[in-house]
């Protein structure tokens, strides 16, 4: 962690300490569980669609700072978005954590914090857990 840019480290620690969209959605929400055995990160993701958009999304997590911060940032980013829009954000995220940011022209500001993750292979799975779990939830929606 110490090599990661200090500003980004602060953002991650802030999301870890004060996660956005924390908690359960009790009624009629889609739910998926994510688990990253490499680090022991666990994630419960709740999501409600309305009119083709994410009406509400929340999570509860138990794991390292990066996995929790990533879930906090992800939920903040996809609220109000359509599945197609989420797909685009998700693609950019995976591009960033596998290849870094140098080759991307227009990077979403909220994702800049993950530019350095590619240099820490063990952390890639921590950062991507939230997005994999989101993908699982969306599959449940699109199957119906």
Strand segments, DSSP code E, in 21-137 are: 30-36, 41-50, 53-62
Query: Applying CB under 5 A, which residues contact Zn ion?
Result: 39, 41, 64, 67, 126
Residue placing its CB nearer to Zn ion in the complex, 43 or 64: 64
Crossing angle of helices 6-17 and 65-78, in 10° steps, is 80
Residue placing its CB nearer to Zn ion in the complex, 41 or 58: 41
From the CB of residue 10, how many other CB atoms can be counted at a distance below 10 Å?
Answer: 11
Q: In the β-sheet with 41-50, what is the strand arrangement from edge to edge?
A: 30-36, 41-50, 53-62
Residue 63 is given by DSSP the state S
Residue placing its CB nearer to Zn ion in the complex, 12 or 111: 12
Measured from the CB of residue 66, what is the shortest distance to Zn ion in angstroms? 6
Residue placing its CB nearer to Zn ion in the complex, 89 or 117: 117
- CA gap 14, 16 in Å, rounded: 5
């Amino acid at each position: 962690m110490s090599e990661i840019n200090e500003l980004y480290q602060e953002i991650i620690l802030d999301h870890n300490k004060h996660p956005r969209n924390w908690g359960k959605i009790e009624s009629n929400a889609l739910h998926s569980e994510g688990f990253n055995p490499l680090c022991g990160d666990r994630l419960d993701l709740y999501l409600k669609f309305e009119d083709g958009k994410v009406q509400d999304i929340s999570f509860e997590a138990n794991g390292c700072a990066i996995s929790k911060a990533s879930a906090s940032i992800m939920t903040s980013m996809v609220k109000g978005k359509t599945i197609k829009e989420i797909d685009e954000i998700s693609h950019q995220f995976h591009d960033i954590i596998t290849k870094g940011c140098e080759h991307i022209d227009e990077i979403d500001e909220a994702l800049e914090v993950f530019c350095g993750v590619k240099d820490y292979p063990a952390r890639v799975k921590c950062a991507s857990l939230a997005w994999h779990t989101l993908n699982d939830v969306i599959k449940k929606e699109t199957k119906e």
